[in-house]
Amino acid sequence: MSTSVYPYLPVEQRREAEAQSTANELSWLLNSLEETLLALRIGLEECATLLAPVQPGSTLVLSSPRSERIKGHVTRTLSLRLRSHAPLNLAVASTSSTESSSTTLPELGFPLATLTALRMLLQKSLDCLDMTHFTGPRASAAARDSAAQFFASQLRLLQSFLQESLSILKGSSPPLTSSNSCRPSVYEAAAWYSEESECISFTPELPSAVVLNVNIHECSLLVTIRVLESCAQQPTLGSRFLTGIGAQRPLEHDELNKEFTYRGESVRVKEKYRVESSADPCLLSCASKLEALERTVLGAREALRVVMDLEQKTELKT
């Protein structure tokens, strides 16, 4: 069904009326976006509150779905620090015998880079909102168009910050879209062999062949323990014989037979264990709020695209 106005308006008069209607709609949209930006600010402040350094924090249970060799608990006392009690019973091979190592994570806590990056992204998002304002409906046409372009760029930047924040909480890489592919990521998870763990202390000390990493995965804490051996170390004759007859089998994992450079030495990962904690309620709530905020930003960007008659881009797709 279609409607038409009769008598028909002259072409020039119709174009002027369309331009005026578009200008009025754009002014109304920019004014309404002020309320949207206020709601976004409130949501981001709530996310920052969930990561605030408050006591007693979140105590999470550490467990392994396939092995009961590693169990314990971890407490996120601050937004940037962890403390835990997790005995590690690992069969660390030595030249003479097989020893069992029981180690407890530090009671005083240690910093977690992922949470530091998450708080930095939230602060950058708030700074982005502080810079976004509209002068009002009495602004000139040039100022209105400039404000609309600025709003569009700021919302695109804000969406990229929210996507990176969600990627940290989910433990995945941020999606490569045109909105953030040309801008370097604020946070990139470092490889385990390039991370420095001198700031983490253990009681008693970890064996030199054991490397422990803590990351965030699906709003839970993921602890990865690796037992390393030097690439220069050759298997003994007895080990080869036991492997040949099938009496001894290497522990299979995704990094088996791969060489890494760790602290200037070529090493292999002999054993690898992944232990995941229960979901952190604060991180779960933060992720839910960030997903809702991202949908709000996406809707605002789509509204601007329609009113400004911009070409639809793949970056607006979820």
Residues 296 and 240 reside in one and the same domain: no
Using the structure block, give the residue that is written with the tokens 């392994």.
64
User: Looking at residue 107, what DSSP letter applies?
Assistant: S
Q: Can you give the pTM of this predicted structure?
A: 0.75
**Rounded (to 5) percent helix, strand, coil in the chain:** 40, 20, 40
Residues 234 and 91 reside in one and the same domain: yes
Are the C-beta atoms of residues 194 and 241 closer than 8 Å to each other? no
Per-residue confidence in pLDDT tens, the chain, 318 aa: 667 766 777 777 777 777 777 777 888 888 888 899 999 999 999 999 988 776 666 777 777 666 555 567 777 665 555 666 666 666 554 433 334 444 555 554 566 788 888 999 999 999 999 988 765 555 677 777 888 888 899 999 999 999 999 999 988 654 444 344 444 454 556 677 776 555 566 666 777 788 888 888 888 888 888 888 888 777 677 766 666 676 666 667 778 878 888 888 888 888 888 888 888 888 999 999 999 999 999 999 998 888 887 654 444 444
Does some domain include residue 99?
A: yes
Strands 210-217, 90-93: pairing kind: unpaired
Residues 65 and 133 reside in one and the same domain: no
Q: How far apart are CA 289 and CA 46, in angstroms?
A: 8
> What are the two backbone dihedrals, phi and then psi, of residue 224, each rounded to the nearest 5 degrees?
-115, 125
Residues 83 and 220 reside in one and the same domain: yes
Residues 157 and 274 reside in one and the same domain: no
User: Looking at residue 193, what DSSP letter applies?
Assistant: G
Are the C-beta atoms of residues 264 and 59 closer than 8 Å to each other? no
Q: How far apart are CA 40 and CA 154, in angstroms?
A: 13
Strands 110-111, 98-101: pairing kind: unpaired
Neighbours of 155 (CB within 10 A): 27
Residues 292 and 206 reside in one and the same domain: no
End-to-end CA distance of the chain, in Å?
32
Total of domains in the chain: 2
Q: How far apart are CA 185 and CA 240, in angstroms?
A: 46
Q: How far apart are CA 100 and CA 90, in angstroms?
A: 6
User: Looking at residue 70, what DSSP letter applies?
Assistant: B
| Structural domain of 304 | 11-51+118-186+283-316
Residues 125 and 230 reside in one and the same domain: no
Residues 102 and 197 reside in one and the same domain: yes
